């Protein structure tokens, strides 16, 4: 987020950054009795609170600062107030400076700052159209002034808007790549690594497994701790699923869920949904159902508008994948019904829900479809989970049929042809009691409950 440099100059001269600079600014703000100085400090202090989610402190600071006479500073603070209002569920528009680009009473250095903060305000209000408009303005203004880091921040905002709000992941990748280049031009290593990780995440979403591997190696060589980031674990799980190794996929996700504190509910929901798919593939039905329902539950009822805005796409992914896992394990009514409802969502998540419904009904997904391309990685893993499960069932069925005697197989064949117990007993010249006992033994060996399931097993083994 772009902030004023005036309030930070003293802290920077002292060699402060991060937590130390935040505490220094808090102390200076608390001790200052000059309204102008307090406004300058607030212009820097509040943007430090917002990424931390400390909106109460941010609101307290802004409420204690009267509007300064300086137009630029007044409008910058107004944009911050709009951001806090949006987080609290209010419409930010009334607080935002109007037509910043057309005003001639604002310094050029402040225009990009106000536009960037306006983008955040509309993002928190989940208004993707206006958020994108202001973020684009901020990027153009920063590029015109040669402010590479500010331009990278605006491009990053556009990545966030498309990834988390619109579901246009093609656009999200474009802006992640642009932000990476701009961060590199600004020689900002931290932000470059951040956007490389975004590219890594999206490569997995697109199912570009070679690129996932190469980006992971690049991040490791540059000593970026990707293992601490959700993108690393999601990509690792998807890679295992793409290879059909659902045991490793479950082990990866299960380890993360049990050992790493995941703060955001939607992130836990997505990992839980991926685990549900892995368990469904392994025919661990009871566990898969539990994890599916948990993922769907976690994907709803999130907290602040900020959290909901930042994680909208992730929570929708969790709900879709959880619903599909339910359908795979046989809870078709609940799973497919939920998927059909989620088909109405806009963007790539709606396309994924539609594709997974088709997979459940027809057994295939058109992976070449442009509509599914931007969530191809998830579609591949979901399709693999269904195929892996069916393959395991086929092996079990073949093994079970192999345990039958020749006489039992002939009896099962007669059942599959629709013959009644009386007809079978007559054809084989045995008593009805013997026929019933033999069929009961067949059902027990096959692990089925009745003649319908036994006939279906024989038919599936033949096909």
Q: What is the pTM of this model?
A: 0.77
pLDDT reading at 3 higher than 60: no
pLDDT reading at 194 higher than 70: yes
Assign 106 a pLDDT band (cuts: 50, 70, 90).
confident
What Å distances lie between residue 362 and 306, 328, 359, 376, 386, CA to CA?
A: 39, 13, 5, 18, 12
What Å distances lie between residue 316 and 59, 141, 360, CA to CA?
A: 30, 34, 19
pLDDT value of residue 394: 63
pLDDT reading at 14 higher than 80: no
CB 276 within 8 A of CB 291: yes
CB 237 within 8 A of CB 377: no
Rounded mean pLDDT, 2-26: 62
pLDDT value of residue 13: 43
pLDDT value of residue 41: 93
Q: 3-state class of 368 per DSSP?
A: coil
pLDDT value of residue 293: 94
Task: Please work out, in degrees rounded to the nearest 5, the angle formed at the alpha carbon of residue 254 by the alpha carbons of 285 and 275.
Answer: 45
Tokens, residue 425 = 């007993």
Q: From CA 252, how far away is CA 263, in angstroms rounded?
A: 18
Q: 3-state class of 404 per DSSP?
A: coil
Return the closest-CA partner of residue 270 out of 367, 185, 341, 201: 201
- At which residue do the structure tokens 């901020």 appear? 138
pLDDT value of residue 2: 39
Q: From CA 132, how far away is CA 157, in angstroms rounded?
A: 8
Tokens, residue 57 = 């402190």
Return the closest-CA partner of residue 165 out of 333, 30, 349: 349
Handedness of CA 125, 126, 129, 132 (dihedral sign): positive
Query: Residue 218's CB: how many other CB atoms inside 10 A?
Result: 15
Please, what is the average pLDDT of the chain? 86
pLDDT, one tens digit per residue, over 404-462 is 776 787 788 888 888 888 888 888 778 888 888 888 888 888 777 888 887 777 776 65
Which domains does the chain possess? 1-146 (1.25.40.10), 270-396 (no CATH), 403-462 (1.10.10.10)
Q: From CA 169, how far away is CA 201, in angstroms rounded?
A: 11
Q: From CA 235, how far away is CA 216, in angstroms rounded?
A: 10
What Å distances lie between residue 184 and 4, 56, 189, 394, CA to CA?
A: 22, 35, 7, 53
pLDDT value of residue 255: 93
210, 216, 220, 224: CA torsion to nearest 10: 160
**Which residue stretches of 166-208 are H helix?**
169-185, 189-205
Q: 3-state class of 287 per DSSP?
A: helix
Q: From CA 201, how far away is CA 7, in angstroms rounded?
A: 35
What Å distances lie between residue 304 and 107, 165, 184, 229, 310, CA to CA?
A: 34, 15, 33, 22, 10
Question: Residue 43 burial by CB count (10 A; 0-12/13-18/19+): exposed, middle or buried?
Answer: buried
- At which residue do the structure tokens 């225009």 appear? 111
pLDDT, one tens digit per residue, over 38-85 is 999 999 999 998 878 888 999 999 999 998 999 999 999 999 999 999
Tokens, residue 207 = 């199912």
pLDDT value of residue 146: 92
Rounded mean pLDDT, 329-350: 85
pLDDT, one tens digit per residue, over 350-394 is 889 999 998 888 888 888 888 888 899 999 999 999 988 887 666
Question: What percentage of the chain reaches a pLDDT higher than 70?
Answer: 90
Task: Please work out, in degrees rounded to the nearest 5, the angle formed at the alpha carbon of residue 202 by the alpha carbons of 201 and 206.
Answer: 125
pLDDT value of residue 210: 93
Higher pLDDT, 333 or 204: 204
What Å distances lie between residue 350 and 12, 134, 279, CA to CA?
A: 47, 27, 24
Assign 313 a pLDDT band (cuts: 50, 70, 90).
confident
Question: Residue 463 burial by CB count (10 A; 0-12/13-18/19+): exposed, middle or buried?
Answer: exposed
Q: 3-state class of 161 per DSSP?
A: helix
pLDDT, one tens digit per residue, over 447-458 is 778 888 877 777
């Amino acid at each position: 987020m772009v902030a004023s440099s005036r309030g930070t100059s003293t802290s920077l001269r002292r060699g402060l950054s991060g937590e130390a600079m935040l505490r220094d600014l808090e102390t200076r703000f608390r001790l200052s009795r000059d309204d102008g100085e307090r406004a300058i400090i607030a212009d820097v202090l509040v943007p430090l609170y917002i990424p931390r989610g400390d909106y109460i402190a941010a609101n307290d600071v802004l409420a204690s600062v009267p509007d300064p006479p300086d137009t630029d500073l007044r409008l910058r603070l107004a944009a911050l107030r709009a951001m806090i209002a949006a987080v609290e569920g209010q419409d930010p528009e009334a607080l935002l400076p109007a037509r910043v680009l057309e005003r001639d009473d604002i310094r050029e250095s402040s225009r990009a700052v106000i536009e960037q903060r306006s983008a955040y305000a509309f993002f928190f209000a989940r208004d993707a159209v206006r958020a994108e408009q202001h973020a684009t303005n901020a990027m153009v203004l920063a590029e015109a002034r040669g402010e590479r880091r500010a331009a990278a921040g605006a491009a990053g905002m556009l990545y966030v808007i498309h990834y988390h709000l619109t579901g246009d992941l093609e656009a999200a990748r474009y802006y992640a790549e642009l932000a990476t280049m701009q961060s590199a031009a600004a020689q900002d290593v931290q932000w470059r690594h951040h956007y490389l990780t975004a590219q890594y995440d999206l490569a997995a979403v697109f199912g570009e497994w070679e690129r996932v591997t190469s980006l992971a190696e690049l991040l490791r060589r540059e000593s970026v701790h990707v293992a601490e980031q959700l993108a690393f674990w999601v990509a690792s799980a998807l890679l295992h699923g793409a290879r059909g190794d659902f045991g490793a996929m479950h082990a990866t996700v299960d380890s993360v869920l049990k050992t790493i504190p995941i703060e955001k509910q939607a992130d836990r929901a997505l990992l839980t949904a991926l685990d549900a798919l892995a368990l469904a593939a392994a025919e661990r039905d009871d566990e898969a159902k539990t994890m599916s329902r948990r993922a769907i539950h976690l994907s709803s009822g999130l907290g602040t508008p900020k959290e909901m805005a930042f994680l909208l796409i992730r929570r929708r992914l969790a709900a879709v994948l959880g619903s599909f896992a339910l359908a795979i394990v046989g809870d078709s009514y609940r799973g497919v019904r939920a998927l059909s409802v989620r088909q109405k969502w806009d963007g790539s998540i709606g396309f994924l829900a539609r594709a997974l419904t088709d997979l459940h009904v027809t057994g295939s997904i058109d992976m070449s479809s442009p509509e599914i391309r931007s969530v191809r990685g998830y579609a591949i893993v979901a399709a693999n989970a269904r195929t892996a499960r069916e393959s395991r069932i086929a092996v079990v069925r073949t093994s079970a049929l192999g345990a039958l005697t020749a006489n039992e197989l002939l009896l099962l064949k007669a059942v599959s042809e629709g013959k009644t117990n009386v007809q079978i007993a007559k054809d084989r010249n045995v008593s009805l009691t013997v026929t019933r006992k033999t069929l009961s033994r067949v059902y027990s060996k096959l692990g089925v409950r009745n003649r319908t399931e036994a006939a279906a097993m024989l038919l599936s083994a033949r096909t």
